[in-house]
Amino acid sequence: RCGYVAIVGRPNVGKSTLLNHILGQKLAITSRKPQTTRHNMLGIKTEGAVQAIYVDTPGLHKNNEKALNRFMNKSAASALKDVDVVVFVVDRTRWTDEDQLVLDRVQYVQGPLIIAVNKADRMEDKAELLPHLQWLTEQLPNAEVVPVSALHGHNLDTLERLVAEHL
Ligand code: GDP
Ligand code: MG
């Protein structure tokens, strides 16, 4: 089995960190600065008979006036087409206007959708995740939800298993 997996989300939620951890190598540059990923990046993870082709995207930007931002938004939007699974990465500590932009696009995705609630390592209390999540899952009733820590690798096996089920 083989398929494309788009990793989308606003800048800085940890998309590239997630891809790197899944691949076990530093393919995509990660940084505290937004706009570190300027092009879509492909990373292939083969495990047994399953081959997942991950597409890391620059993230959707609110400011569409700069040419670079428009270019990055186009890259991110194009990654949503012709994919088998979409992983929508959100930061469990913060919901912003740019997350809303991504949500607006992701709502039109027909295929399987997984919400990866990242930075779950910073969670002192698991209940803290819930208010934010409940609202989000109401917006995306067909999405599966998995809390992860891209940085520490928590729960990425679960995420990869969910992805593989749709390939
Ligand atoms: P991207 O713009 O979505 O690709 O985000 P990056 O992967 O470049 O990460 C943005 C920042 O968030 C970096 O400083 C990462 O180290 C940090 N980050 C990513 N994942 C996690 C996580 O699971 N926990 C914590 N605490 N920080 C993270
Ligand atoms: Mg990135």
Q: Is 11 helix (H, G, I), strand (E, B) or coil?
A: coil
Task: Compute the average pLDDT of residues 94-104.
Answer: 89
* pLDDT over threshold 80, residue 96: yes
Phi-psi bin for 25: left (phi > 0), alpha (psi -120 to 50), beta? beta
pLDDT at 40: 78
Q: Ligand 2 centroid to 20 CA: how many Å?
A: 10
Region 98-125: mean pLDDT is 87
What ipTM goes with this model? 0.99
Residue 107 one-letter amino acid: Q
- State which amino acid sits at residue 43: G
For 19-78, the pLDDT digits (tens) are 999 999 777 667 777 666 666 788 999 999 999 999 988 776 677 777 766 766 777 777
Q: Is 149 in the pocket of ligand 1 (CB under 6 A)?
A: yes
Where in the chain are the domains?
A: 2-165
Residue 12, annotated ligand binder? yes
Residues 6+ apart with CB under 8 A from 104: none
CATH class of 2-165: alpha beta
Q: Could you tell me the two tokens for 6?
A: 């788009």
